Every structure is written in C-alpha cells, then in structure tokens.
Amino acid sequence: MPNRLAAATSAYLRSAAHQPVEWYPWGEEAFARARAEDRPLLLDVGAVWCHWCHVLDRESYEDPEVAAIINQHFVAVKVDRDERPDVDVRYQNAVSAISGQGGWPLTAFLTPEGKVFYGGTYFPPEGSHGRPGFKQVLLAVSEFYRTRRDQAHAYANELHQALHRLGEARASEELLSPGLVQEAVADIERRFDRQHGGFGGAPKFPHTGAIELLLRRYDRTRDPKTLLAVTRTLEKMARGGVYDQLGGGFHRYAVDAAWVVPHFEKMLYDNAELLRNYVHAFQATGAPLFRETALGIVRYVTAHLMDASEGGFYASQDADISLHDDGDYYTWTEEEAAAALPPEELQVARATYHLDGPGEMSHDPRRHVLFVDKDPDVVAAVLGRPADEVRELLARARARLLEARRSRPAPFVDRTVYAGWSGMMISALFEAARGLGLPDAREAALRGAERLLRDAYHPGRGFQHVAGARDSVSGLLDDQVHMARALLDAFEHTGEPRYLRLAAETMEYVLAEFTTPAGAFYDVARSAAREAGVPGLGVPYVPVQDAPTPSGNGVAVMVLGRLAALTGETRYREAAERALRACAPGALSQGLFAATLALALDLHLDPPLHVVVIGARADPRTRRLHGTALGTYRPGTIVHLYDPSAADGAERGGVLPAPVAAAGGPAGDEPRAYACTATACAAPATDPEVLRDTIRTFGRISAA
C-alpha cells in the first residue's frame, strides 16, 4: 500500500510512496501525532537528483526490517530540500552543529516540538569502519529518547537557543570600506588552485560569486594574477568531466581536484550562474572557449530544462537512470565508443578524451568520463594529421556519440518550476543575450519572466516558491530577490516600465516583511515564519553565504542598488547600506563563501556606470544606442531605456532619470545616451561608436 506521499507534488516525495516506512510529508499532522504519542520524529531531507539519497532509500527505507523499527519508534517525515529550502537550511545548521557536517541526505532526530537532539547525513545499513549501521542508530536513538527524555529535550532546547542567537545579524559601527572587499578577495586568491583551477581541494564545487567578484576586480586593476584565477578555473572546468562534453551544461560538482569525475546531477542554479561567468569571461578576454561553453549551457538548458510550451525553467536533471548505476548515461566504455564511431573518428576521440586504459568510475572501471585530455593541436601532432582535420573528425565524433547517447534512457528531469532558480536562469539568459548577441536567449528569458509573473506572483505578497502550485510555500527571500533581479534585467532589455514597477513592488515586500531589526534580511518573511507553527522553523536565519546559490542578502543589496539608480529613490540605497552594515563586517571574513556579499559591497562603494538612452523606443537610432549600451562590456553597467513620450507612473510620471537631469537634460529630438558615474556625466552621445568608447573608458578609477 502506498504511504502518505503518493499524492505529493514533489517528485522526490512521490518516489518514496511505495516504501514500507509510514512517511508523512512536512506538516502539522506529523507533529500532532508525535506530540500525542510523545514520540521522536525521524526527519529525512533529500532531493530527487541526490545520488546518496537514492542509495539510502534503496538500502534502508525500502528494507521492511528497517521500516518496522522506524514505524514502531518514530514519526517519520520526508522533506524535499528543493521544495522546502527554509526547512532544509535550519535542520542543516542544527545537524552541522552536532556532527560537524551537513549535506544530503540529511537524517535528523527531533523532539515532538521539532527541535533537533541528534542527527547526521548518510548512515550505511550495517556498521563498518567505526561507523554505526542505520538499524543500530535507530534503536539507540529510540532507547535514548525513551529512557532519557528530559536529557534529550534539554539538549534540543540548548541547541535551539544557541542557533537562535547565532541567527540574528547585528548592526555594526564599522565603516564600510574597500578593505573589507580586499579581505574577501585575498581569501579567494589564497584558496586558488593554480594547477587545476577552482578554489580549495576535492571535492570541488563551482564558486560563481567569486568569479564575478574577481572579474570586476580585474576590470579595474588589470592585475594578471586576478585574471589567472578566473581563466584557469573556467578553462579547467570547461575541459573537465564536470562539463558535459557532448550535451553541454555542467554537473553539480567534481569529486576530485582536477574537475574530471563529477557527481552527475545537473542543477538549474549552477548552470545559470556558470552561464553568467562564462559570458562575462568571454566579454573580458575574447577567449573562444568561454563563448563555446556558454553556448553549450544555453543549448542544454533550452533543450532539457526549459518548459517550451509555457516558459520558465525546470529544476534539475538526475544523475542516475536507476538505483544501481552512477552516471552511466554520461560515461563510455571503449567498446561502446567503438560501436558508435568509424575508426578515424574513434582514433581522434580516444586520444582527445583519454578513452583507453582503465576508466575513471570506481563502481565500473571500464567506464570513462569524457574530459579533454589533449587539445586538437596535440592530438594532430601525435597522430600525424593536420589540426583542422582533427577538429573536423572530433566534431563528427561528438555528434555521433551524442546521437548514440540519446538512444539510452535519459535521467529524470524534475519539471518543478521554482521562482528563485528560474529567476537566476532568466537573468543569466539576459546576460547571454547581452554579451553574446543571442536574440533567442532574450526571448526565452522574457517568456520565462512572463510565466513566473502569471503563475507565481501575487501583488503585495511577492512570488510563491513553486509556479502554479496551489499548496506552494510562499515568503522565501531567494524567490523575491532573484525574480526582482530578473525583472530589472527585463526592464533594461525592453524599456517596458511594467517590469521596473513589478521589481520595485517585489522589493517593497522584501523591505516590509524580511528586514531584521539591524537592517539585514531574513530568509523567510516574518508573516510566513509566524504561520509555520514549528519551533524548529522559528530559528531566524540571515543568509550571507553562497551556499550553494548566491546569498540572499548579497543579491538583495545589488537589486536595491540598481533600483536606486533606475528610480532615483535614495531610500533603496539607504536600505542597501543598512543591510551591508548588518552583514558585511562579520560575514566578509568568510571570504570565498561570502563572495556575492563582497561583490554587493564593492558595487555599493563604487557604483557601476549608469547609461540612460533617451528617445522613442520605435526609433531605429534609439535601438542602435540601446543595443550598444547593452552589448558593451563593463561589469555591472546599468542601462535605462527612457522614452519620454511613453513615460508613465512606473518612470516617476515622466520625470527625467537622475543622470539625464544631472547632465542638463535632453536637447532636441535626436536620440542620445548619457553615461554617468556616481559623481560625473560624460557628454551625451548620439553615435553608437562614441557611446561604446565612453562606456569603456569614462570615469575609470583603479581599485586599491
């Protein structure tokens, strides 16, 4: 008989509907039963894309003996971390405080009030190497709660109170200085792996916020060491197995330091922020590899993670086909490659991708991860062939291997459309349209924005988490700030005042419902936290780390800064300053892990160039100036297309944007563009080439 998860909207929960564990979804029903029977709760937090979650399911939750122990002694609750990030982050913090590590699957044991008294991540079915088996853990925890109930509650209360104290951000009197940004940059550069790129050792995750911060830093300093950290990281990732060499797009992370063997799940949020990185790196360097990689991400996302009929973007693609493989869809034996390729193409593919000898997959040493082991020029020298011929053979081999791969059963795609993650991809696609000249990316971004506005937006209450879901959680900071950023991008690209108005409305909701007493932003709206009813969710949390998506406070500050520039409303900049004072002095000591917040502070201290194109939107001359403003690279540039004849309340009743007013206002009917820093404006430009040069050079100040 199916358990209570059969009707869940979450694919992860539905995948456990057949298990003999008497699962409850997250909700009051489970906690009411736990209180009535004075039973502890077993909380399992995972995701449909999570390999080890599937392993734990297969080994333990599908085992009738394990299920019997759980059903007898616990009230079992299963949570999809993508569907309920607010639940996940609080219990991750609690379990990390107990065990020293978090991750998925998360296994937590709670009092009936929802407070953690013990937990961990993956537990093997049987004990080994000093680690207890899951049945042993379950029985020991049950016995502890039964015989030492007061001790369990006391410890849970103590942990709850400690997390509550840590969760509040406090205002600081410390000056917001460039030195704080430099402290974060220095930490990032210390962690840079000069050999393999990336930051730190294995396992290796993308740190997209750090790349954006370093790109902005390099744009002002021209320090070759700063650029090296960007280019080596992006080159090694693009050549590694962490990038799908056939189908495009990035897997979630690499288990090794060299980016060769990935965990094969593909996440929308990773690909969004990596797309932003590769577009900006191409604009900064002109390196063809960065453009090719960005285009590969766009092709993958639009083919597999985009809702082609409705717009918007799906959450993820799983790593595995079944519970018994580990990325087999993406890997190859020599025999499989030989069956798909003619001899000449096989020879080139084998040399390029190291398709000989033992493979890289520990569960099946025959299987190879495709990564670029040798460049075409090297392969040409080894094989004694012209380099152009090798490139042509390799292109044909990739196409044949991809076609052969399509005959395999493809990993599951979670077709849930989350507002925040879709907002990230919408924004990144606008950047791709801007930096690579991709009109199709612009249209996909606009369709995505309209889908989220239609199916997830509620005036005065912002964006709900899941588009189109009646029972979706609402009031999550990430959904608001990422969609507000996407709407500002839509406004910059189209000049449609509606997008600016909706972005401002969303951030008004953030300011009203998410602001802490010190001025930072909670991850959950106050009204949503009050309605939660579970003490474990009452722990405040102020997101300042990039973990794994860009920090909610960092993105909020950047959105507020852009709103201040586009609307002339100084209160948005003042709110950004309050948030930075509450967060930055303490958080930026975390360096690499607070890179987005450091970028937000850098943009606040040295506001980006603001370009206003004024003229009728239908005028081809206006369009040329607008296209030049969008397409000319200078990190953070804000572009404002202003049509005086179409101005409405969203553009302050036709009042001139501040940079135009500061420059003396428009003269005559000819379209023109005004480029202004925080303190000065260049002469208005009517020629696109003059505007391009102005954007690149005006008001440049070298960073310390």
Instruction: Kindly state the percentage of the chain with pLDDT values over 70.
Output: 95
Q: In what order do the strands lie in the sheet with 106-110?
A: 24-25, 75-80, 41-46, 106-110, 116-120
Q: What is the pLDDT of residues 9-28, one digit of tens each?
A: 999 999 999 999 999 999 99
Q: What is the pLDDT of residues 312-330, one digit of tens each?
A: 999 999 998 877 788 899 9
- Range with lowest mean pLDDT among 84-98, 232-246, 658-672: 658-672
| Residue 521: pLDDT over 70 | yes
Q: Is the pTM of this model over 0.85?
A: yes
Mean pLDDT score across all residues of the chain:
93
Phi-psi region of 677 (alpha: psi -120 to 50; beta: other; left: phi over 0): beta
Question: What is the rounded CA–CA span in Å between residue 109 and residue 92?
Answer: 12
Query: What is the pLDDT at residue 527?
Result: 84
| Residue 7: pLDDT over 70 | yes
Q: What is the pLDDT of residues 195-213, one digit of tens each?
A: 999 999 999 999 999 999 9
Greatest pairwise CA separation for the chain in angstroms: 85
Give the rounded distance of the alpha carbon of 173 from its chain centre: 31
b/e burial code for range 506-524 (CB count within 10 A of at least 16 → b): bbebbbebbbbebbbbbbb
Q: What is the pLDDT of residues 463-513, one digit of tens each?
A: 999 999 988 999 999 999 999 999 999 999 999 999 999 999 999 999 999
Model confidence at 431, pLDDT cuts 50, 70, 90, reads very high
Question: What is the rounded CA–CA span in Å between residue 278 and residue 291?
Answer: 7
Give the rounded distance of the alpha carbon of 521 from its chain centre: 18
Which long-range contacts does 533-536 make (Cβ < 8 Å, 24+ apart)? 533/28, 533/31, 534/31, 534/113, 534/114, 535/113, 535/114, 535/115, 535/160, 536/90, 536/91, 536/94, 536/110, 536/113, 536/114, 536/115, 536/116, 536/160
Burial of residue 201, with CB atoms counted within 10 A of its CB: 0-12 exposed, 13-18 middle, 19 or more buried: exposed
Q: What is the pLDDT of residues 139-179, one digit of tens each?
A: 999 999 999 999 999 999 999 999 888 877 666 667 799 99
b/e burial code for range 567-596 (CB count within 10 A of at least 16 → b): bbbeebbebbbbbbbbbbbebbebbbbbbb
Domain annotation for the chain: domains and CATH numbers: 11-166 (3.40.30.10), 192-414 (no CATH), 608-704 (3.40.30)
Question: What is the rounded CA–CA span in Å between residue 278 and residue 235?
Answer: 10
- Tracing tokens 């609402």 back to the chain, one arrives at 474
List all residues 6 or more positions away from 671 whose beta carbon is below 8 Å from its beta carbon.
613, 614, 615, 616, 619, 621, 622, 625, 686
Query: What is the pLDDT at residue 169?
Result: 60
Question: What is the rounded CA–CA span in Å between residue 153 and residue 130?
Answer: 27
Q: What tokens were used for 209? A: 């916020």
| Residue 223: pLDDT over 50 | yes
Helix (H) / strand (E) containing 417:
none
Burial of residue 668, with CB atoms counted within 10 A of its CB: 0-12 exposed, 13-18 middle, 19 or more buried: exposed
